[in-house]
Amino acid sequence: MQINLHPTVSIVLVGCGGTGGYLVPKLARLLMTLKQFKRETNFFLTVVDPDTVEEANLYRQNFVRNDLGKNKAHVMAQRYSLHFGINIGSVPERIESPEKLRELFFSLRDDRYSYSQQSCILIGCVDNNSARRVMHDLFKNWNGLGYRHNLYYIDAGNGKYSGQVVTGYREVNKLILPPVGEIFPDAIIEDDEPPRSCVQNALEAPQNIGANDLAATMVFSVLNILLTEEEINSHILTFDGRRQEFLSRTQL
Distance of alpha carbon 137 from alpha carbon 148, whole angstroms: 17
Per-residue model confidence as pLDDT tens digits over 205-237? 554 678 999 999 999 999 999 999 999 999 999
Per-residue model confidence as pLDDT tens digits over 78-95? 999 999 999 999 999 999
Instruction: Tell me which residue of 101, 130, 127 sits closest to 189, measured CA to CA.
Output: 130
Residue 100 domain-assigned (yes or no): yes
Question: Do strands 88-91 and 42-48 pair parallel, antiparallel, or not at all (unpaired)?
Answer: parallel
Residue 76 domain-assigned (yes or no): yes
Residue 51 domain-assigned (yes or no): yes
Residue 1 domain-assigned (yes or no): no
Distance of alpha carbon 177 from alpha carbon 159, whole angstroms: 24
Per-residue model confidence as pLDDT tens digits over 144-198? 877 778 999 999 998 888 899 999 999 988 999 999 999 999 988 876 655 555 5
Which ranges constitute the DSSP H helices of 143-238?
Answer: 180-183, 198-204, 208-228
Which ranges constitute the DSSP H helices of 96-242?
Answer: 98-103, 129-140, 180-183, 198-204, 208-228
Q: How many domains does the chain have?
A: 1
Residue 193 domain-assigned (yes or no): yes
Residue 3 domain-assigned (yes or no): no
- Residue 40, pLDDT score: 84
Query: HSE (CB half, 13 Å, CA atoms) of 202?
Result: 14
> Residue 17 belongs to what domain range?
8-248
Query: HSE (CB half, 13 Å, CA atoms) of 239?
Result: 24
Residue 2 domain-assigned (yes or no): no
- Helices 72-84 and 20-37 cross at an angle (nearest 10°) of 30
Secondary structure tally for the chain: helices H, strands E = 7, 9
Question: Which residues lie below 8 Å from residue 10, measured CB to CB, with a gap of 6+?
Answer: 44, 46, 105, 106, 108, 109, 118, 119, 120, 121
Residue 169 domain-assigned (yes or no): yes
SS3 46: strand
Q: DSSP character for 25?
A: H
- Residue 116, pLDDT score: 66
Please list the residues that pair with 151 across neighbouring strands.
Answer: 120, 170
How far from the centroid of its chain's Cα atoms is residue 54's Cα?
A: 22
What CATH number corresponds to the domain at position 163? 3.40.50.720
Per-residue model confidence as pLDDT tens digits over 107-124? 765 655 556 678 999 999
